[in-house]
Amino acid sequence: MGKNKGEMKYHALKETLKNDILSGIYQPGDKIPSENQLVQEYDLSRHTVRKALSILEEEGYIVAVHGKGTFCTERAIHKKESKNIAVVTTYISDYIFPRLIQGINSVLSKNGYSIIFKTTENSRRGETACLEDILTKDIDGLIIEPSKSEIVCRHPKLYENLDKYEIPYIFIHGVYEEMIDKPHILMDDCKGGYLLTKYLIDMGHQHIAGVFKADDRQGRERHKGYVMALQEAGYQYDPDMVVWFHTEDRQTKPVTAIVQMVKDKRKMDAVVCYNDQIAFSIIGGLHQIGVSIPEDLSITGYDNSMLAHQQPLSLTTITHPQEKLGEMAGQLLLEKIQGGSDKETEYLIEPKLVIGNSCKSRLPLRKWR
């Protein structure tokens, strides 16, 4: 128990000093407080302070100069024209990531840039770690997908440090509200959610459930479009027909909730899903309880991923031009690196409906005389 407490104390001190360095409180070459000063200021033992400083020195943040003291290193000074670009995404998978990277690389490689890839696993702590690491490297720019982008940014100092070091950055897929003035490229997800829901309504569906992600901008915007289409058609919005899920329960909650709605005999003839992955996981769950798609229930996805074109069932979905988005991000970042001004800050990509065979018309058949 005592050992764990000691470890927590030196780790806390190390993180405090590291954050002070990365946030610019200590500039490269600045002398940091001595062991004695840190012992007194934080009420810690000399052993604990020495251990924290030793780890910071191993990681390259500080250097001890005999007879003079301990100084912040030059590692945070970024060289110009490094020809390195950092790309940070929430996940690296074969879902839509390869097309995004292909688009970014097609623009940057032609201009002699190399890409450093990082992923946050859609975690704020992961994003903090990525940014801290990036600030120790020589990069000319950054393209970043914010983690859990509906949550207030918990590490604004790190972005301020990017500004201070004149490292331009572009947000993709989302943007923090307090950084809305920074360049960002987004899909018009509200329109995408609207197009899918309107398509179902036009096919005669009247009891449309929705499954949306609560901890990112895309989920909120797609839900907004879903609500708009329902209200435009004169249908009353029913919050009990909406399933909200988070990153942590994305593999279980959407399926469990929709399956339970069917078991409860809830009136439901269609489901608008957050993306193609969620759609197919729900289809699998429904299949296990004997529900046929689209005969019993219509399902839509989003992203027009490779999953959407599995045979014999192809999803009605929204095309998500990841390659185009990547190209736009790469080109915009190049302009920023070359000193271009922010004529615009928000760039919206128009969604397009892709019709598969996962939806069936519920319109009454015409009787011909």
CATH number of the CATH domain containing 37: 1.10.10.10
At 113, give phi and psi (nearest 5°). Answer: -100, 145
Q: Note whether residue 362 is domain-resident.
A: no
- Are 112 and 84 in contact, with CB atoms under 8 Å apart? no
Helices (H), the chain: 2-22, 35-42, 46-58, 97-108, 124-134, 156-164, 189-202, 217-232, 253-263, 276-288, 322-337
- Are 35 and 51 in contact, with CB atoms under 8 Å apart? no
Give the domain extent around 106.
Answer: 84-187+322-350
Same domain for 141 and 22, yes or no, is no
What gap in Å lies between CA 159 and CA 88, rounded to an integer? 14
Q: Note whether residue 356 is domain-resident.
A: no
At 37, give phi and psi (nearest 5°). Answer: -65, -40
User: Confidence band (pLDDT; 50, 70, 90) for 51?
Assistant: very high
What gap in Å lies between CA 48 and CA 44, rounded to an integer? 6
Q: Note whether residue 139 is domain-resident.
A: yes
Same domain for 179 and 199, yes or no, is no
Q: Note whether residue 77 is domain-resident.
A: no
Q: Give the SS3 label for residue 216.
A: coil
pTM for the model? 0.75
Same domain for 206 and 302, yes or no, is yes
- Are 316 and 354 in contact, with CB atoms under 8 Å apart? yes
Mean pLDDT of 86-91: 91
Please check the confidence at residue 344 and state whether its pLDDT lies above 90. Answer: no
Q: What is the pLDDT of residues 168-186, one digit of tens each?
A: 999 998 899 889 999 999 9
Same domain for 158 and 47, yes or no, is no
How many domains in the chain? 3
Please check the confidence at residue 2 and state whether its pLDDT lies above 50. Answer: no
What gap in Å lies between CA 7 and CA 362, rounded to an integer? 63
Q: Note whether residue 358 is domain-resident.
A: no
Mean pLDDT of 257-275: 97
Q: What is the pLDDT at residue 91?
A: 82
Which range among 43-57, 79-93, 174-188 shows the weakest confidence by mean pLDDT? 79-93
Strands 169-172 and 352-354 come out as: unpaired
Identify which has the larger pLDDT, 107 or 123: 107
Same domain for 212 and 310, yes or no, is yes
> Sign of the CA dihedral 248, 169, 18, 152?
negative
Please check the confidence at residue 339 and state whether its pLDDT lies above 90. Answer: no
Angstrom distances, CA of residue 187 to CA of 24, 48, 64, 215, 230: 34, 49, 49, 17, 21
Task: Report the number of secondary-structure helices (H) and strands (E) in the chain.
Answer: 11, 14
Same domain for 105 and 37, yes or no, is no
Q: Note whether residue 110 is domain-resident.
A: yes
Please check the confidence at residue 269 and state whether its pLDDT lies above 50. Answer: yes
CATH number of the CATH domain containing 99: 3.40.50.2300
Same domain for 121 and 21, yes or no, is no
